[in-house]
Amino acid sequence: MDPTYGTHVKLLAFDFLSLTQKSSSDPICFYRKGRPVSRAETVGVVVSRERKGDKFLKFLVDDGTGCIPCILWLNHLNSPYFSRCNPSDVRLMADMAAGFAEEIKLGALARVRGRITSYRGALQITVSDVFVERDPNAQISYWLDSIRLAVNCYNVLPSPNFLKHHHQQNHKR
């Protein structure tokens, strides 16, 4: 598998919003210039937040090139999805998500990581981590990192030998 699939790719919002989706695949996979991606990281200013009770928090992160919709689920304690998990783990996840929701304030510079998903045809991040940046240069570092990674890594197709070696290493594990 292409290594971009398993990492949190740092994409500028305009780049993230132009990912394409192959809906026939299982699990649903997204592509950037033909390479598969499943997780993303963004850094930007929170420009809207809309909380739906204890179900979820929807918010928008503006990095200056676009706005990425993010959804943070808060329904761990009521969702049947988690009913088979260890209750103490579920409680931890619920507490962590509630803490993230408190940190997401209008105007905050947030670093958000999560799975790439789509809702009604629009790309979004299903949030797993939030970190509110205190460093005033964090946005600049993120822009420069994203450009460097796009040019030197994401735009460069791995050689067939690399993919073969990567596959063998994963197989040994």
Interface characters, 17-56, with another protein (x: CB under 8 A): -x--------------------------xxxx-x------
Question: Coil, strand, or helix at residue 40?
Answer: strand
Map the footprint of another protein across residues 154-173, applying CB under 8 A: none
CA atoms lying within 13 Å on the CB side of residue 103: 17
If we measure between CA atoms, which residue out of 12, 104, 112 comes closest to residue 63?
A: 12
Q: Alpha-carbon distance 96 to 14, whole Å?
A: 29
Q: How far is the CB of 29 from another protein (least distance, A)?
A: 19
Question: Coil, strand, or helix at residue 19?
Answer: coil
Span of 22-30, 80-88, 102-110, 111-119 interacting with another protein by CB under 8 A: 102-110
Residues forming contacts to another protein in the complex (CB under 8 A) are 12-15, 18, 45-48, 50, 58-60, 62-67, 69, 105-109, 135-137, 140, 143-144, 147, 150-151
